[in-house]
């Protein structure tokens, strides 16, 4: 009897071990490369060469990029590539492109639609052939703005009229087979693998690969060529109607599938603000749609939301769930992220093309509560903390400053707009949450004793700027705080957030004959009337956007901890809508800025001392502003205070 019992126990144990072995997926890896962009060259078939041995330009480009992908494969491995949008440039509807394309004899009689469809084939098929050609087994691509001709999409414009053709060209290569049938046919539980019957049925999809459910979302809502949806025109970052119902059905059904251990959603647009940005229009999921989309991701326990668009790496942990948003960079493989997958763990490592490790992130679900460990640029930012803090206490030698975009000190030839006339640039560390890349670069300034350790002395020849964009944007809440000391007269710019790409709003702080001034445009500004802070003494100033969609009148101006209500204002009912593509600088104006402040506002550069320049992407309240002022008088920085308050 005992022998039979032991046999049964042993058999049950073996079955249990065997079942566990069957259910456990071996560790595997995928690669994330948003905003690759470099596939645009595959459409340039009309190039000629004087060299009789010249090969087709497209073939040469494909061969060159295949070498880069093979190097990536050899260095980092992986079996799947995910690309959250922007493979190309996509301006295939513009006259310059059309004329050049149709100059090639085979395409002389092509219509505008024909050119877009054929350009899609050349571009996307070239990239697809590379990815599979170097040994990857699956390639999942989301629609980005450049797959749709690039933003903005104004009513009844050429790009808008061609939106169906852009989606068709994308689908023919990435989501349909050679017979025109969808390759996404296997249901997730009872849910279809794509939103059948919607205009997104061939650009949104769901697929289970091993132990992950990957859901790809076309986040570019379009209701009609003559229907404006927001700042970008007829397209906005949103998901609605049957498209939204399908998305929820897929996530809901995934909860019932035991073989799905992780859910990863990719689309092109970031949801959680703020994010680091570089050379990008900075489009986000629309403000009114943020909570709707996030609530779905929270409700169905999505582990990771992957996005692109902004060309820099930012990780944010949702404050109401275990969801992690990772907005990555993959431009021309200059950055990439390797993701190791285990049944109870996702481990991310971001690399630069030069081999440098930029950061790590581990999402560990092995216990009841999910834990997150991180380092470097993959350390989650907190939207509540200081994003920018220039104390001027830490100066970084040029030979030790590495910009994560370029992998070295910023290329002065490429960034000649900023570096023109600078021979010996310096960098002052940003030790806020936006970290190292947002350090202040420039020249013709010097360090002196400040009110809190060091301050920076600036004159009219100084240039101080950051290379990335933001973090302020649109109508989002913000607080900018700084200490200044000056006796200069006139109208003098302190904080400049002008744009190179358009004449939208800036959000600029200046002194106007000793009064604190805040300007959104040259003819939209507010200025205090009884302060006189150009008296050669230290003063603390702060400006606050108190809520999203605030008007200029709603903005709060503080001097030495006191809210100033006596102001002269022009255009006070104008809503704050700062250009997404704004470059921050201190006391600096550049010729390429779209708004010439010297001409339109008689603006000169600040002269004097600045200290403890700080920026939050939230609205600080009156008590917090007073604390910063009082602490500064005691030699305590805003960053130190922020850390104490967070404890």
Domains and their CATH numbers in the chain: 32-376 (3.60.21.10), 447-646 (2.60.120.200)
Mean pLDDT for the stretch of residues 186-205: 98
Model confidence band, residue 442 (pLDDT cutoffs 50, 70, 90) = confident
Characterize the bridge pairing of strands 304-307 and 262-266. parallel
Asked whether 247 and 261 are in contact (CB, 8 A), the reply is: no
Long-range CB pairs of 423-429 (<8 Å, 24+ gap) are 424/398, 425/398, 426/395, 426/396, 426/397, 426/398, 427/395, 427/396, 427/397, 427/398, 427/401, 428/390, 428/392, 428/394, 428/395, 428/396, 428/456, 428/464, 429/390, 429/391, 429/393, 429/394, 429/395, 429/396
Characterize the bridge pairing of strands 324-327 and 491-496. unpaired
Cα–Cα distance, 290 to 295 (Å, whole number):
8
- The pair of three-digit structure tokens given for residue 249, joined into one six-digit string: 């059905």
Closest CA to 484 of 556, 553, 541: 541
| Predicted pLDDT of residue 5 | 57
- The pair of three-digit structure tokens given for residue 610, joined into one six-digit string: 């600045």
Model confidence band, residue 21 (pLDDT cutoffs 50, 70, 90) = very low
Question: Does pLDDT of 51 surpass 50?
Answer: no
SS3 call for 265: strand
Which uninterrupted H or E stretch holds 127?
helix 112-133
State the burial class of residue 181 (Cβ atoms within 10 Å of its Cβ: 0-12, 13-18, 19+). exposed
| Predicted pLDDT of residue 580 | 85
Model confidence band, residue 524 (pLDDT cutoffs 50, 70, 90) = very high
Omega before 214 cis (within 30°)? no
Mean pLDDT for the stretch of residues 41-50: 71
Question: Angle at Cα 304 formed by Cα 299 and Cα 310, nearest 5°?
Answer: 120
State the burial class of residue 275 (Cβ atoms within 10 Å of its Cβ: 0-12, 13-18, 19+). buried
pTM of the model: 0.94
Cα–Cα distance, 18 to 12 (Å, whole number):
10
Cα–Cα distance, 555 to 528 (Å, whole number):
12
Question: pLDDT tens digit string along 455-467?
Answer: 999 998 888 999 8
Question: Angle at Cα 17 formed by Cα 11 and Cα 19, nearest 5°?
Answer: 100
Closest CA to 481 of 436, 412, 536, 544: 544
| Predicted pLDDT of residue 414 | 61
| Predicted pLDDT of residue 13 | 54
Question: Does pLDDT of 498 surpass 50?
Answer: yes
Mean pLDDT for the stretch of residues 388-416: 82
- The pair of three-digit structure tokens given for residue 50, joined into one six-digit string: 């004087």
Model confidence band, residue 7 (pLDDT cutoffs 50, 70, 90) = low
Please state, in angstroms and as integers, the Cα–Cα distance from residue 553 to each residue in 77, 574, 597, 601, following that order: 55, 8, 22, 20
Mean pLDDT for the stretch of residues 370-394: 97
Model confidence band, residue 411 (pLDDT cutoffs 50, 70, 90) = low
- The pair of three-digit structure tokens given for residue 435, joined into one six-digit string: 């970290």
User: Beta-carbon neighbour count of residue 69 at 10 Å?
Assistant: 21
Cα–Cα distance, 92 to 439 (Å, whole number):
37
Question: Does pLDDT of 151 surpass 90?
Answer: yes
User: pLDDT > 70: what percent of the chain?
Assistant: 93
Residue labelled with tokens 């595959």: 42
Query: Who contacts 636 (Cβ-Cβ below 8 Å, separation ≥6)?
Result: 452
| Predicted pLDDT of residue 597 | 84
Cα–Cα distance, 458 to 479 (Å, whole number):
23
Characterize the bridge pairing of strands 524-528 and 478-485. unpaired
Asked whether 235 and 222 are in contact (CB, 8 A), the reply is: yes
Give me the count of residues in the chain.
647
- The pair of three-digit structure tokens given for residue 621, joined into one six-digit string: 């309240």
According to DSSP, the residues that pair with 544 across neighbouring strands are: 479, 556
SS3 call for 469: strand
Q: Which region among 55-59, 139-143, 179-183 has the lowest average model confidence (pLDDT)? A: 55-59
Looking at residue 576, what DSSP letter applies? P
Question: pLDDT tens digit string along 266-285?
Answer: 999 999 999 999 999 899 99
Question: Angle at Cα 610 formed by Cα 607 and Cα 611, nearest 5°?
Answer: 170
According to DSSP, the residues that pair with 559 across neighbouring strands are: 541, 562
Cα–Cα distance, 339 to 267 (Å, whole number):
17
Model confidence band, residue 593 (pLDDT cutoffs 50, 70, 90) = low
Residue labelled with tokens 């049950």: 12
Residue labelled with tokens 């570019």: 220
| Predicted pLDDT of residue 510 | 96
Question: pLDDT tens digit string along 323-354?
Answer: 999 999 999 999 999 999 999 999 999 999 99
Question: pLDDT tens digit string along 534-552?
Answer: 999 999 999 999 999 999 9
Please state, in angstroms and as integers, the Cα–Cα distance from residue 477 to each residue in 196, 205, 390, following that order: 39, 34, 20
Which uninterrupted H or E stretch holds 305?
strand 304-307
Question: Does pLDDT of 554 surpass 50?
Answer: yes
| Predicted pLDDT of residue 309 | 97
Question: Does pLDDT of 18 surpass 60?
Answer: no
| Predicted pLDDT of residue 1 | 47
Question: Angle at Cα 130 formed by Cα 147 and Cα 70, nearest 5°?
Answer: 125
Question: Measured on CA atoms in the order 246, 247, 250, 251, is the torsion positive or negative?
Answer: negative
What φ, ψ does residue 69 adopt, rounded to 5°?
-70, -35
| Predicted pLDDT of residue 52 | 40
Chain centroid to Cα 550, Å, comes to 23
Cα–Cα distance, 232 to 559 (Å, whole number):
36
Pick 583 or 10 by higher pLDDT.
Answer: 583
Mean pLDDT of all residues in the chain?
A: 92
- The pair of three-digit structure tokens given for residue 465, joined into one six-digit string: 């700027």
Please state, in angstroms and as integers, the Cα–Cα distance from residue 368 to each residue in 24, 365, 500, following that order: 18, 7, 49
Asked whether 265 and 302 are in contact (CB, 8 A), the reply is: yes
Q: Which region among 44-53, 432-441, 523-532, 607-616 has the lowest average model confidence (pLDDT)? A: 44-53
- With b for 16 or more beta-carbon neighbours within 10 A and e for fewer, the 429-465 pattern comes to bbbbbbbbbbbbbbebbebeebbbebbbbbeeebbbb
Q: Alpha helix (H) ranges present in 274-375?
A: 290-299
According to DSSP, the residues that pair with 557 across neighbouring strands are: 543
- The pair of three-digit structure tokens given for residue 71, joined into one six-digit string: 């190097």
Cα–Cα distance, 202 to 469 (Å, whole number):
33
Pick 3 or 409 by higher pLDDT.
Answer: 409
- With b for 16 or more beta-carbon neighbours within 10 A and e for fewer, the 370-400 pattern comes to bebebebbbbbbbbebbbbbbbbbeebeeee
Question: pLDDT tens digit string along 155-165?
Answer: 999 999 999 99
Which uninterrupted H or E stretch holds 99?
helix 95-102
User: pLDDT > 90: what percent of the chain?
Assistant: 81
């Amino acid at each position: 009897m005992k022998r039979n019992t032991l046999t049964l126990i042993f058999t049950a144990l073996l079955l249990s071990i065997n079942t566990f072995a069957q259910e456990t997926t071996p560790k595997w890896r995928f690669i994330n490369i948003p905003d690759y962009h470099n596939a645009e060259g595959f459409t340039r078939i009309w190039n000629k060469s004087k060299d009789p041995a010249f090969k087709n330009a497209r073939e040469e480009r494909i061969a060159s990029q295949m070498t880069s992908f093979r190097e990536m494969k050899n260095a980092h491995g992986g079996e799947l590539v995910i690309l959250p949008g922007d493979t190309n440039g996509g301006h295939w509807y513009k006259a310059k492109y059309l004329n050049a394309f149709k100059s090639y004899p085979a395409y002389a009689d092509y219509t505008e639609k024909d050119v877009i469809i054929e350009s899609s084939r050349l571009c996307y098929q070239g990239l697809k052939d590379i990815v599979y050609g170097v040994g990857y087994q699956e390639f999942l691509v989301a629609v980005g703005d450049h797959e749709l001709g690039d933003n903005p999409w104004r009513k009844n414009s050429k790009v808008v009229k061609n939106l169906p053709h852009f989606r068709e060209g994308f689908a023919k290569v990435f989501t349909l087979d050679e017979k025109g049938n969808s390759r996404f046919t296997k249901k997730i539980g009872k849910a279809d693998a794509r939103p059948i019957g919607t205009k997104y049925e061939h650009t949104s999809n769901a697929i289970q690969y091993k132990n992950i459910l990957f859901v790809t979302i076309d986040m570019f809502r379009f209701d009609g060529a003559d229907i404006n949806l927001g700042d970008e025109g007829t397209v906005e970052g949103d998901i609605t109607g049957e498209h939204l119902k399908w998305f929820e059905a897929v996530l809901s059904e995934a909860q019932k599938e035991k073989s799905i251990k992780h859910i990863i959603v990719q689309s092109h647009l970031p949801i959680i603000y703020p994010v680091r940005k570089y050379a990008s229009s900075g489009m986000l999921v629309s403000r009114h749609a943020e909570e709707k989309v996030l609530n779905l991701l929270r409700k169905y326990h999505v582990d990771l939301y992957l996005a692109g668009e902004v060309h820099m790496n930012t990780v944010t942990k949702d404050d109401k769930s275990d969801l992690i948003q990772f907005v990555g960079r993959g431009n021309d493989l200059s950055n990439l992220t390797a993701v190791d997958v285990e049944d109870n763990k996702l481990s991310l490592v971001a690399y630069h093309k030069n081999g440098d490790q930029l950061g790590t992130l581990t999402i560990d679900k092995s216990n009841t509560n999910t834990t997150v460990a991180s380092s470097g640029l993959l350390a989650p930012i907190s939207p509540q903390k200081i994003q920018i803090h220039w104390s001027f206490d830490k100066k970084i030698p040029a030979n030790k400053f590495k910009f994560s975009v370029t992998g070295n000190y910023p290329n002065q030839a490429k960034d000649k707009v900023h570096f023109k006339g600078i021979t010996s640039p310096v960098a002052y560390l940003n030790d806020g949450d936006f970290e190292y890349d947002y350090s202040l670069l420039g020249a013709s300034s010097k360090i002196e004793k400040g009110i809190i350790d060091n301050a920076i002395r600036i004159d009219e020849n100084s240039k101080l700027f950051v290379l990335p964009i933001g973090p302020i944007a649109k109508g989002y809440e913000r607080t900018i705080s700084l200490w200044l000391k000056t006796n200069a007269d006139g109208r003098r710019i302190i904080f400049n957030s002008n744009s190179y790409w358009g004449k939208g709003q800036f959000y600029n702080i200046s002194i106007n004959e000793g009064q604190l001034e805040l300007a959104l445009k040259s003819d939209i500004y507010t200025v205090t009337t009884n302060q006189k802070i150009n008296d050669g003494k230290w003063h603390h100033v702060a400006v606050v956007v108190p809520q999203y969609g605030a008007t200029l009148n709603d903005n709060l101006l503080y001097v030495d901890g006191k809210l100033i209500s006596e102001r002269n204002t022009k255009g006070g009912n104008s809503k704050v809508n700062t250009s997404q593509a704004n470059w921050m600088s201190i006391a600096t104006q550049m010729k390429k800025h779209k708004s010439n402040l010297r001409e339109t506002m008689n603006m000169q550069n600040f002269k004097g001392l600045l200290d403890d320049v700080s920026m939050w992407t939230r609205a600080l309240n009156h008590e917090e502003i007073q604390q910063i002022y009082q602490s500064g008088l005691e030699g305590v920085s805003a960053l130190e205070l922020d850390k104490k308050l967070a404890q």
